[in-house]
Structure 1
């Protein structure tokens, strides 16, 4: 009987994969090459496939599962809300909507006043673009080359990296500028402050050339996410704030990845004591248990819409299930001290990453803040030549590295020549060290690869 049950389970798993490949379209993939794992269980920082194999979730899925898998408090909140009222239109006041809005503003910087809820990060950035244009009466939007803000049409035009290409020719008025990516800069700066002065100077020059009277907003990921966890140099965000104040430009911080404790603060901008005009968020507010995002606006922008129509709308704006999940998730952060744990475990992660950088010839740089980090792989530490050319992986080496990590139970993803390391904020020191030992071993293979 036990053998028969196992065979039935195997057949069921095969059918799941068969139907998945036959009927589902997977994002960012050529479909024929796919061989998706069948996942049957997830708990804490782990998940299991249909063979019973366990994986460390070292990217928190898509850097969103901050509280880990299977949190009962959030699950029960969703169940209770579904029993009470699974949906009511966005024009009505509902207890969980009011409660979550108040909680979000309580955690946001002091200058923030109101929030418009969405379903995810792309929705949030789409609506932030519109709000910035409405509030200023201007039309140009600045954003950086090494950025990802979403795949919907407006968010893709905001995006700087290659995932924007399929949405081009794009929308008029979107302007790109360069990131403070010191590791890849041809200039060798004496200090972060010198680098900051250079990048801000070039941005100011570009703003003037574009006509500051036409620029509605400057969008930036407070800490660049999938494009390499690029951390702003000292003074950079403060400098952006000053430029925005000087020219009447809205400063928008995309905290879809970096928000909700990921960097060791409720919002990443708190690390630099900077108050943007708009913050966009998603991911960590519900940790994927229910889709939810939002646009937080300053009190000043909020007041503008007291007398001017907010031309933004979504059928599922402030969905009750999402709001219930968001309220419970924020309580989990508070009750389990996850913001502090992110900061504390971030120190452990940073130490492990620095050891890996010293040990491996293939590791050019490591960047980390809280439990948000990336390992940048190179062919040569002296020349800093990237392991793969920008926008291409002709030999599929990054995919092979990620595959080797997964084989050993370390689940994450790569982008360009960087490996993401961003575990759930609930991770313990022993778990983190065990997982990082797997990464250490796989990097031995990468060292051998670059020596060939």
Structure 2
């Protein structure tokens, strides 16, 4: 063991004694001690091999042990480990160019942050600076971060500890068709309904006060909710009508997760801003950012950008980002995601047909979830919104982990978002584990 620890148990005990672990009751924790990792697998100190079927926090797109990124970080650390954001350096300039060129054609510049939450914080500031307005719309089934501004963007229960919130943050309803208020005859009909609701709400809130609509292009940790046909295009049209900024949060869905560099490209959308993080470095170094349109970039040619971070465009993060984006290109990752995504979709549909506990499966690329239900006819979720008093979902995740399938749950959903490098054989082998565990869940329903 390194750092003076005698064994894995001492590592765990020290962690529990001195670390505050996120989103957890500290006294109930029993964290696994991880010693090494390679490809899609990590290995615990007790010798257990775990398939990382959630890519950790849906960020480890290239898996573990990627030499291209590791070597780039090493080289940059030896050359120039840190320099203020005020300076121009090669890796910083190159990554900015690569990010903008990977984005939709209307994009002009990027402001780098440390992660997704502060990307969304700065997108809020930019929208207010450019429009002179103060209201920000976001959706109820959304997670945009846990810092104060991003936490107010967030709609689901993780925002509750921030309340009373910041004035001007307004929530609207997602087009979540599996739990729609009444059955729609088509996706287009659902789109018309939800867009009508949104447009009315904007009018009630005074369009001249609304700076931005912020939404995940594909809702991530709240259930992989894929927008119905025409929905994102309709939001773009509403934003254009009222002079509102359309901000697509691509922190989780971006960088190849859906088979495109950015999920909004699946629907041909050109937002005013895109926020990103996670897959730009795949967790090998912290980095996020806000990509702004050419029009917004031009605004700041003559107006002050009141945004700044000590570690904005950190050299180690930028070096990792350049290597990561080069790896995506070299290994044709977008094509591989489309191919593996078809396999994953077919396996999920088989699971849905087979198991009475599976109400719905949703997937795009390697971004998917299984929604569990008490009753397929009524769509009643296995656990109520915002609550799991008996810890049912935790038990199910524990059953999966016991068989070497690492993932997490949120509400009544189990997530399947493996590294983008996963092979056909690895995907089939691990989905068989999910199938096996769901057979046991069927008995619980």
TM-score bucket of the superposed structures, by smaller chain? over 0.9
Match of 1:369 among 361, 364, 368: 364
Shift of 1:186: 2.1
Q: Is the 8 A contact 2:5 2:11 kept in 1?
A: no
Residue 234 of structure 1 aligns to a residue whose secondary structure is coil
Match of 1:339 among 334, 337, 359: 334
The corresponding residue for 2:410 is: 415
- 5 Å matches for 1:53-64? 53-64=48-59
What is the CA–CA distance in structure 1 between the aligned matches of 2:102 and 2:402, rounded to whole Å?
39
What is the CA–CA distance in structure 2 between the aligned matches of 1:185 and 1:60, rounded to whole Å?
30
The corresponding residue for 2:18 is: 23
Residue 41 of structure 1 aligns to a residue whose secondary structure is strand
Residue 300 of structure 2 aligns to a residue whose secondary structure is helix
The corresponding residue for 1:293 is: 288
Match of 1:259 among 226, 236, 254: 254
Match of 2:81 among 86, 98, 109: 86
Shift of 1:318: 0.4
Alpha-carbon RMSD across the aligned residues, in angstroms, is: 1.0
- Indicate yes or no: 2:117 matched with 1:122: yes
The corresponding residue for 1:271 is: 266
Runs of 4+ in 1 over 6 A off after TM superposition: none
- 5 Å matches for 1:103-114? 103-114=98-109
What is the CA–CA distance in structure 2 between the aligned matches of 1:21 and 1:68, rounded to whole Å?
27
Shift of 1:51: 1.1
What is the CA–CA distance in structure 2 between the aligned matches of 1:132 and 1:107, rounded to whole Å?
22
User: What are structure 2's unaligned runs of at least 5 residues?
Assistant: none
What is the CA–CA distance in structure 1 between the aligned matches of 2:20 and 2:13, rounded to whole Å?
13
The corresponding residue for 1:66 is: 61
User: What are structure 1's unaligned runs of at least 5 residues?
Assistant: none
Deviations 1:45-75 (A, max 9, x none): 0000001110110000000000110100100
Shift of 1:11: 5.1
What is the CA–CA distance in structure 1 between the aligned matches of 2:370 and 2:26, rounded to whole Å?
28
Residue 306 of structure 1 aligns to a residue whose secondary structure is coil
What is the CA–CA distance in structure 1 between the aligned matches of 2:137 and 2:338, rounded to whole Å?
31
Residue 113 of structure 1 aligns to a residue whose secondary structure is strand
What is the CA–CA distance in structure 2 between the aligned matches of 1:67 and 1:394, rounded to whole Å?
36
Match of 1:13 among 1, 8, 13: 8
What is the CA–CA distance in structure 2 between the aligned matches of 1:233 and 1:383, rounded to whole Å?
21
Match of 1:326 among 308, 318, 321: 321
